[in-house]
Amino acid sequence: MKLAILGATGGTGRQIVSQALAEGHSVAALVRDPAKLTLQHEHLVLVQGNVLDRAAVDRTLAGAGAVFISLGNTANNPNQIVSAGTAVVLDAMKAADVKRLIVISSLGVGDSKDQVPLFFKALIATALRNAFQDKEAQEKLVMASETDWTIIRPGGLTDGPATAAYRAGLDRSIGGQVARADVAAFALAQLSSDEYVGKTPAIAQ
């Protein structure tokens, strides 16, 4: 399957790209700076541009069977890049008649607020306030869309190797850290399952 990946140069995005290629998928990745994604593969196409650039998003989605959004707030991005970019992607998906959407969000968003520890709740209310408001807005846009969406909410992200020893699902007791590699593996597994279509599974070790 051809996959379109937005946010491909982030830690989780890179894992989704590399694991997707290893599984035999072809990948179109939207990147602002191609130098930040050093992986080379015959089935990987880099589309240079910004997620707010509709033409670049359209090129990325062309022929795709599924879309992955793994956007994050950085110092080089506008404050509302996650929700604003997601809005552009949703419009492009509708125009291209692409239905399957898998979004990487975060624990602490929506009805998962009680799945994070107290110190992280304090961060969400202060230092991370804008980032989490952006993710809240993103989730609302996705949930209101006509896509077959799954929103994955990982706990604290680490750079360790894939373990396959994670917990994932709708159990609101799930919380804690999780490797980005495991998040990517779980996200890709949704391509062959409709268990979490229209749902918000959490994932943590």
CATH code, domain with 183: 3.40.50.720
CA-based R_g, the chain, Å: 16
Q: How many domains does the chain have?
A: 1
Per-residue pLDDT of the chain (205 residues; tens, 9 = 90+): 999 999 999 999 999 999 999 999 999 999 999 999 989 999 999 999 999 999 999 999 999 999 999 999 876 677 799 999 999 999 999 999 999 999 999 999 999 998 988 888 898 888 888 999 999 999 999 999 999 999 999 999 999 899 999 999 999 999 999 999 999 999 999 999 999 999 999 999 9
Find the domain containing 169 and state its range: 2-204
Q: At what angle do helices 81-96 and 129-143 cross, to 10 degrees?
A: 20
Contact 86, 138 (CB under 8 A): yes
Q: How far apart are the C-alpha atoms of 65 and 27, rounded to whole Å?
A: 10
Q: How far apart are the C-alpha atoms of 171 and 199, rounded to whole Å?
A: 12
